[in-house]
Amino acid sequence: MITKYLKRNGTKPFDELEHSYDELFLCFATMFGITTEEVHRKAIYNYIQTHYSAISESSLQGSLEKSNYWNRVDAAYYCLNEAGLEKLYSEFVPDDEKALIFPIVVFRCYLGNDLIGVKSYPSQKGYDLFLNSQEVDTETIYDFLHEQGIELPTNGVSKPREVLSWLLKENYTWEIMNYDEIIKDIVHLSDSPATGANVSVN
Name every residue whose Cβ is closer than 8 Å to that of residue 121 and which is 6 or more positions away in sequence: 42, 104, 127
For the four alpha carbons of 133, 136, 139 and 144, in that order, the dihedral sign comes to: negative
- Whether 49 and 125 share a structural domain: no
- Whether 97 and 126 share a structural domain: no
Q: Give, in degrees to the nearest 5, the angle at Cα 127 between 122 and 132.
A: 125
> 97 near 32, Cβ under 8 Å?
no
* Helix H or strand E encompassing 198: strand 198-201
Name every residue whose Cβ is closer than 8 Å to that of residue 74 and which is 6 or more positions away in sequence: none
- Whether 22 and 46 share a structural domain: yes
Going residue by residue through the chain (202 aa), what tens digit of pLDDT does each one get? 677 889 999 999 976 677 899 999 999 998 888 888 999 999 999 999 999 999 889 899 999 999 999 999 998 999 999 999 999 888 886 655 666 789 999 999 999 999 999 999 998 788 999 999 999 999 999 999 999 999 999 988 889 999 999 999 999 999 999 999 888 776 544 344 333 444 333 3
- Whether 94 and 153 share a structural domain: no
Domain that holds residue 184: 2-102+178-201
Q: For residue 39, what is the domain's CATH number?
A: 1.10.10.10
Burial of 122 (0-12, 13-18, 19+ CB in 10 A): buried
Predicted structure pTM score: 0.86
**Other C-beta atoms lying within 10 Å of the C-beta of residue 20:** 12
- Whether 28 and 58 share a structural domain: yes
Q: What is the DSSP letter of 193?
A: T
- Whether 65 and 37 share a structural domain: yes
- Whether 61 and 147 share a structural domain: no
DSSP-assigned letters across all residues of 41-98: HHHHHHHHHHHT----HHHHHHHHHH-SSEEE-SSSEEEE-HHHHHHIIIII---S--
How many structural domains compose the chain? 2
- Whether 11 and 63 share a structural domain: yes
What does the alpha-carbon distance between residue 111 and residue 147 come to, in Å, rounded to a whole number?
Answer: 12
- Whether 196 and 148 share a structural domain: no
- Whether 159 and 188 share a structural domain: no
Which of these, 99, 114, 77, 113, lies nearest to 176 by C-alpha position?
Answer: 99
- Whether 32 and 89 share a structural domain: yes
- Whether 14 and 110 share a structural domain: no
